[in-house]
């Protein structure tokens, strides 16, 4: 685990009492939205298209039981080309 990952995990643990709902926000190139939906097919997603249509913002709320679970979702999302995590 990198130092940055350790710090992120520590911040998550300091600010959340597990289990709890966790809100993820991503910016996905619209052309890759299908790939994102395939990766998170069991999740309820809120989407909003950018003004130009090039990007789609995605909000996903899931109940997480640990910082490790949260980090695993970000790693899973990183499989989608061009994704930005907020």
Domain extents for the chain?
A: 3-85
The pLDDT of residue 74: 96
Q: Which residues share a beta bridge with 5?
A: none
Residue 1 has pLDDT above 90, yes or no: no
Do residues 64 and 53 lie in contact, with contact meaning Cβ atoms separated by under 8 Å? no
Which residues, at least 6 apart from 57, have a Cβ–Cβ distance to it below 8 Å? 25, 26, 27, 28, 47, 48, 50
27-83 confidence digits (pLDDT tens): 999 999 999 999 999 999 999 999 999 999 999 999 999 999 999 999 999 999 999
> pTM of the predicted model, to two decimals?
0.90
Sheet holding 84-85, edge to edge: 45-49, 55-64, 20-29, 84-85
The pLDDT of residue 7: 95
The pLDDT of residue 26: 98
> Span 3-85: which CATH code?
3.30.70.260
């Amino acid at each position: 685990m990198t130092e940055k990952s350790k710090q992120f995990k520590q911040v998550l643990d300091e600010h959340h009492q597990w289990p709890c709902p966790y809100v993820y926000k991503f910016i996905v190139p619209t052309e890759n939205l299908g790939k994102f939906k395939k990766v998170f097919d069991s999740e309820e997603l809120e989407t909003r298209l950018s003004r130009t249509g090039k990007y789609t913002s995605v909000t996903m709320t899931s109940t997480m039981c640990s910082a490790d679970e949260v980090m695993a979702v970000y790693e899973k999302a990183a499989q989608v080309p061009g994704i930005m995590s907020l």
